[in-house]
Amino acid sequence: MNLNLQDKVILISGGAKGIGGAISRGLIEEGAIPVIIDPSEKEANEILKIAQGRALHIPIRLSTEEDARLAIQKTVDSLGRIDGLVNNAGANDGVGLENGSPEAFANSVSKNLFHYYYLAHFALSYLKASKGAIVNISSKTAVTGQGGTSGYIAAKGAQLALTREWAVELLPYQIRVNAILPAEVFTPMYESWIQSFPNPEEKLAEINSRIPLGNRMTRAEEIAAMAIFLLSEKASHITGQHLYVDGGYTHLDRAL
């Protein structure tokens, strides 16, 4: 299927590794121009080699409003347009109710949520011009809970609410806004978490056994495929949706 993304300029926060890296690579395959907003130089350079000059790396962590404004300005100065935005960067940092503090909670919400708004805000005039699309990467934990990670969950739940809010607000401009909710995806960050257990292989097997479809984790490329579809004109009448790409993990009976 030709998604007609040739030469489309798509921003991806956290676009060098894990799910974001898979989205960047998938966009290159579709002929699009990914803008990788990510401080990870090594991984970004690997993607730039694949792109053969048809990608842009902006090594910014998006800690502040100014970081987001600068990322948008660099994109427009270099490429002249913005056709889509994938809000993806974030980390499950384990700031809970018992093991956290008000300050740690505020910092966790800030670093996992605020840049979603900042990037969308500063990109908005360009998305209006292109009738572009926004994809927010959230998490199944926003609807199931996880325990011990209040800040991250608060941010992920807010991302789902903003997806619906923005979809409504941006209807007059035909800008579509959707969210993807991954569950268990074996990214480098996830692998580091698995390695923190006394018996990583046993823990991984236990998790896989609870994923109904195939008893395996979702691949980052499978999340990327959904994100890229939602960015394309093939998804031209899809907006305000929360889409689960999780092998049935969230909704199907684990006894299966």
Residue 173 a catalytic site member: no
Torsion angle in degrees (nearest 10) through CA of 24, 87, 62, 121: 130
HSE-up of residue 153 (Cα within 13 Å, Cβ side): 15
The tens place of each residue's pLDDT in the chain, 256 residues long, gives 789 999 999 999 999 999 999 999 999 999 999 999 999 999 999 999 999 999 999 999 999 999 999 999 999 999 999 999 999 999 999 999 999 999 999 999 999 999 999 999 999 999 999 999 999 999 999 999 999 999 999 999 999 999 999 999 999 999 999 999 999 998 888 888 788 889 989 989 999 999 999 999 999 999 999 999 999 999 999 999 999 999 999 999 877 6
Q: What is the dihedral of CA 64, 107, 184, 3, to 10 degrees?
A: -20
- Sign of the C-alpha dihedral, residues 55, 59, 63, 69? negative
Question: Would you say domain 9-183+220-245 falls under CATH 3.50.50.60?
Answer: no
Give the active site residue among 126, 152, 244, 249.
152
Show the tokens assigned to 5.
């993304």
- Positive or negative, the CA dihedral 221, 216, 163, 40 is negative
Residue ranges covered by each domain of the chain: 9-183+220-245, 184-217
Q: How far apart are CA 180 and CA 199, in angstroms?
A: 31
Q: Give the predicted TM-score (pTM) of the model.
A: 0.96
CA gap 39, 74 in Å, rounded? 15
